[in-house]
A and B are shown apart, each in its own frame.
Chain A
Amino acid sequence: MIRFILIQNRAGKTRLAKWYMQFDDDEKQKLIEEVHAVVTVQDAKHTNFVKFRNFKIIYRRYAGLYFCICVDVNDNNLAYLEAIHNFVEVLNEYFHNVCELDLVFNFYKVYTVVDEMFLAGEIRETSPTKVLKQLLMLQSLE
């Protein structure tokens, strides 16, 4: 299962933090810092998987943002790599060529996207078209 999802920029600022496990605020902060340290050290010649405490992190870098998913050790790395890409594609569609600022100013909408695609630490909906349809419906309610 997914333990948490983080989107961070290179400087370490959190753009999204979704936790599927209980943590204190200080623990959360510590985790964020640790993830940042571990992930920014890696470069092109490393794999996209990093051992992290007794879990592992699957991450992918898009421009200046790191999308990190922390999963259990026996989960399928490659599948979650695809899940990250799927998620980013949805964001791209929804925000029309998404950039970091979009995520900053519309942070609550980003959470909605996450909640449409993941729930309770599992992947919920994988079809980008369906997710987008839902998101547009939700938007119309505002």
Chain B
Amino acid sequence: MSSHIQRMPAPIRLRELIRTIRTARTQAEEREMIQKECAAIRSSFREEDNTYRCRNVAKLLYMHMLGYPAHFGQLECLKLIASQKFTDKRIGYLGAMLLLDERQDVHLLMTNCIKNDLNHSTQYVQGLALCTLGCMGSSEMCRDLAGEVEKLLKTSNSYLRKKAALCAVHVIRKVPELMEMFLPATKNLLNEKNHGVLHTSVVLLTEMCERSPDMLAHFRKLVPQLVRILKNLIMSGYSPEHDVSGISDPFLQVRILRLLRILGRNDDDSSEAMNDILAQVATNTETSKNVGNAILYETVLTIMDIKSESGLRVLAINILGRFLLNNDKNIRYVALTSLLKTVQTDHNAVQRHRSTIVDCLKDLDVSIKRRAMELSFALVNGNNIRGMMKELLYFLDSCEPEFKADCASGIFLAAEKYAPSKRWHIDTIMRVLTTAGSYVRDDAVPNLIQLITNSVEMHAYTVQRLYKAILGDYSQQPLVQVAAWCIGEYGDLLVSGQCEEEEPIQVTEDEVLDILESVLISNMSTSVTRGYALTAIMKLSTRFTCTVNRIKKVVSIYGSSIDVELQQRAVEYNALFKKYDHMRSALLERMPVMEKVTTNGPTEIVQTNGETEPAPLETKPPPSGPQPTSQANDLLDLLGGNDITPVIPTAPTSKPASAGGELLDLLGDINLTGAPAAAPAPASVPQVAQPPFLLDGLSSQPLFNDITTGIPSITAYSKNGLKIEFTFERSNTNPSVTVITIQASNSTELDMTDFVFQAAVPKTFQLQLLSPSSSVVPAFNTGTITQVIKVLNPQKQQLRMRIKLTYNHKGSAMQDLAEVNNFPPQSWQ
């Protein structure tokens, strides 16, 4: 280190630096240069050199722009601001705006400088100060300096007034309470001739009106003046200074329109005052260039927002319709966005442009397509459903994957609301499933299944089409799930070739099983799909005649499947084959028509139909009671009365009572775990947690250890030699539960065979029937049938029951109904 310190050479000029940095060929080289220069700058700052400070800071700012840290220059910026030289100040303020922000305490040091500069003799310095304050002034700074800004707002210098106005906007944004302060200065703002001042004044007024309803009310009186200004703008001839493509000061026009919008909102008088000028702007503006369209767009927005008369609104929508035909995609985009907002309120007017909107589905830009799709769904109604659906299905085929899920859901919704015929509906669903099957949402599958179930006359057609669809390709999970379910249910229709709507195909039972087995084996099938397939195979065991053994084999194979779900099902189906074969046919009976469930529209689709008033999507009220089924549920028919209902659990989408009165349809309420013959779809069924009574084997287990003695037993029924006695037990643990044990005895000389006991209780109760000890009541009272009923009575109401008995006696079928009213109070209180 030499003893005398050399004076550092003058720092290189900005241009030099830039040129040097640009010669760097790699990132590393550039970094090195920058570091070197930064070091030089740092030492220069330490030397407190005034001459070159400006140059150094400028270089620093350049390096900052390239992305390198430059915070060590912050204080230097402040020193520059304090300098008297204009160039220094300029770079200093620029540096402040780039390097400083509210979060550094350093910035507060600027306040005093700015204050002085706001009062500087040179307007350009004042301008610099205003600019900086307006861009990055913190709340504290704003509070301190608001007075100065306000003063400058009233100056006659238009250059400064413009800046002051926008600076005031910034102040108001930062510290809303200061708004009042600027009120007096605004009095004369609109009297300006200078466009720039006018423009910024309008901005200031807009900001104040947006923030404060009081200001808004106060400024409403300006509407006539604004209208006049706008009129002058349009009518006046060529003004070279503010002309853009032949339109005078479009920016000012746009801003005035925006302010008018805010003032006219919800106010009849103001809206009326604006009507004429809006119509004038709408009709007179040149539309060949983007500029004109910008003004028209703002006009349309204003018309839609204020309380305009209907003629004006139609005019606005027609403008939007014209926009849709424009070559410029920006304008089409903007039009679609606005139409989407207005389709609710001006539905009919928008309908007129439907075909243009549908054409936009074929546009190349993704955002335009999306808006066109949403708008199309909003415009679908009963009249145009066929045509629209054709277009939408075509769109579904060809659109990007990101749209497919939403489009599919939208199509389902629209189809459900407006389907002209069931066949059309099924066809549409099929089309969606086959073209976009893998994008269909999971919850659509149960909805579809329910829909298919309800179209009773279409079952054969549906299953045939579904079968054909998955023959070729079973990779689309939702499609396969629906198909598997249908084949399971309606397989008999499939093989019998019963289709009316279409040419019936010849399918053998083996072929059907082939396809289901391939689904089971395929790698592409998810666990859920496999579950569907297995269940379907099982159901076919009662519908097919020749292939039962094959089914048995398949089911037993899966008894050792790794997939737990499949394994459980297979094991239980095996059990059905072996031990409970007598129940199999009833368990796997055809499903009755299901209750309508609320359709879930997962996408945010604007819901209107144009036929009635637009209303939000009405959710169908959840079913209030059990469904009346078309296949006669004997007990329901018999019982008829409103207050007594057969026992079915109250979960809405739950298992319907199985058809046919033979089997205890009350079994329907006992959840057969794993045997989904009673469950429409595993995914959506709420798991009713009830213990699996059926498979527990025979009943008559004493369920409660605490037998409260003393409840007298009753004779519930005694006729034709058949006597039924009820004995009661109450649980100490759950006081709402009563356990009734029935004993049926036969005093005649012949046995009663195929004895079936059924019971029903009023709605407020819940009943569980366990399996009987046998189905034969031996003659001469030599034995009894015992059966256990559990009654849940949470409301402690009086217990009543209707019972139905069927049996064979003396070679003929007997049936009887009775009501049991003589329950002892202790059994239910």
Interface residue range, chain B: 35 or more
Instruction: Give the docked Cα–Cα distance between A137 and B86 (Å).
Output: 12
**8 Å CB contact of A120 from B134, B331, B367:** B134
A94 to B87, CA, bound (A): 19
Type the 1/0 row for B134-169, where 1 means its CB is closer than 8 Å to any CB of A.
110000000000000000000000010011001101
User: Is the Cβ of B330 less than 8 Å from the Cβ of A47?
Assistant: yes
Alpha-carbon gap, A15 to B91, bound state (A): 17
- State the CA gap A14–B66 with chains docked (Å): 7
B200 & A127 in contact (Cβ 8 Å cutoff): no
Contact of B11 with A by CB under 8 A: no
Check B301–A76 contact: CB distance below 8 A: yes
Q: How far is the CB of B387 from chain A (nearest CB, A)?
A: 27
The secondary-structure label for the interface of chain B is: helix
Distance to closest chain B CB from A121 (angstroms) = 8
Q: How far is the CB of A44 from chain B (nearest CB, A)?
A: 9
Which of B236-244, B627-635, B698-706 makes up part of the contact surface? Answer: B236-244
- At the interface with chain A, which of B286-294, B719-727, B814-822? B286-294
Q: Is B62 a contact of A107 with CB atoms below 8 Å?
A: yes
- Give the CA-CA distance A130 to B14 in the complex, in Å: 29
Q: Are B251 and A76 in contact (CB under 8 A)?
A: no
In angstroms, Cα B568 to Cα A17, docked, is 64
> Are B244 and A82 in touch, CB under 8 angstroms?
yes
CA distance A121 to B169 in the complex (A): 9
A125 to B15 alpha-carbon distance, docked (Å): 30
| Residues from chain B with Cβ under 8 Å of A15 in the complex | 65
- In the bound assembly, the distance between CA atoms of A34 and B290 in angstroms comes to 28
Asked whether any CB of chain A lies closer than 8 Å to the CB of B365, the reply is yes
- Are B333 and A49 closer than 8 Å at their CB atoms? yes
Given contacts A78-B293, A79-B251, contact A126 B65 (CB under 8 A): no
**CB-based contact B249/A142 at 8 Å:** no
Instruction: Using known A-B contacts A22-B101, A126-B252, A137-B124, determine if residue A46 contacts B134 with beta carbons closer than 8 Å.
Output: no
Taking a contact as CB atoms under 8 Å apart, the answer to whether A20 and B162 are in contact is no
CB of B694 to closest CB in A, whole Å: 56
How far is it, in angstroms, between the C-alpha of A13 and the C-alpha of B18 when the chains are bound? 14
Q: State the CA gap A83–B606 with chains docked (Å).
A: 33
| CB proximity of B369 to chain A, nearest CB, Å | 11
Find out whether the CB atom of A108 lies under 8 angstroms from the CB atom of B196: no
Interface string of A97-123 (1 = CB under 8 A from B): 000000011011001100100011111
Q: Is B538 an interface residue (CB 8 A)?
A: no
Whether the pair A78, B166 counts as a contact (CB closer than 8 A) is no
Query: Is A79's CB under 8 angstroms from B298's CB?
Result: yes
Q: Is B514 in contact with chain A by the CB < 8 A criterion?
A: no
Question: What are 22 A-B contacts defined by CB distance under 8 Å?
Answer: A17-B65, A20-B135, A45-B365, A47-B367, A48-B330, A49-B333, A51-B367, A76-B294, A77-B297, A79-B250, A82-B290, A107-B62, A108-B61, A119-B167, A122-B166, A124-B166, A124-B200, A125-B162, A126-B199, A127-B195, A130-B241, A138-B90
- Please list the residues of chain B having a beta carbon within 8 angstroms of any beta carbon in chain A: 14-15, 18, 22, 58, 61-62, 65-67, 69, 86-87, 90-91, 94, 97, 101-103, 124, 130-131, 134-135, 159, 162-163, 166-167, 169-170, 173, 195-196, 199-200, 203, 240-242, 244, 249-252, 254, 258, 290-291, 293-294, 297-298, 301, 329-334, 364-368
Q: Beyond A22-B102, A120-B167: 10 further Cβ-contacts under 8 Å? A: A14-B67, A49-B333, A76-B294, A76-B301, A79-B298, A81-B290, A112-B90, A123-B199, A125-B199, A142-B90
Residues of A with Cβ closer than 8 Å to B? 13-18, 20, 22-25, 29, 45-49, 51, 76-79, 81-83, 86, 104-105, 107-108, 111-112, 115, 119-127, 129-130, 134, 137-138, 141-142
